[in-house]
Amino acid sequence: MAAVTYLVLAVLAVATVAGLLYRARYGRLRTSAGDLPPGLLPPGASDGVVLLHFTSATCAPCRQVKAVCADLVQTLPGVRHVEVDADAHLDAVKSLDIWRLPTLLIVDRGGNIARRSVGVPDRSELRRTVTEVMAA
């Protein structure tokens, strides 16, 4: 009986730690590097900072990311939001190491990935980060 109790406590501890790690990383913008596959951005998108949003029709949080990006595009000149259907661009998803949706990549003027977020980013953190990428 004691062995079962210890096993249950161990499983609960592991699940708690995993949940806390997930929550700590969800929506956080972190530094990223890499190049985009050719043809992923529409023509003229490299004139400014691009919010490259990988989405799916069945993804509910993707609608929240879309709203956050739309707000930012309206208030910051030189920022463009591009949605990419992950199902239709599986090669790009694989090459960019995208495992969960929504994933948001902040692409600088040179076409390089500057930051990455999985989940719904905080509006103020996204604005601050995009402003930093624009200034660089």
pLDDT(12) > 90 = no
| Domain 28-135 part of CATH 3.40.30.10 | yes
pTM score: 0.79
Taking residue 16's Cβ as centre, other Cβ atoms within 10 Å add up to: 10
Sorted by where each begins, the domain ranges of the chain are 28-135
pLDDT digits (tens, 9 = 90+) for 69-83: 999 999 999 899 999
Q: What is the pLDDT of residue 5?
A: 81
**16 or 88, greater pLDDT:** 88
pLDDT(39) > 70 = yes
pLDDT digits (tens, 9 = 90+) for 53-66: 999 999 999 999 99
pLDDT level of residue 21 (50, 70, 90 thresholds): low
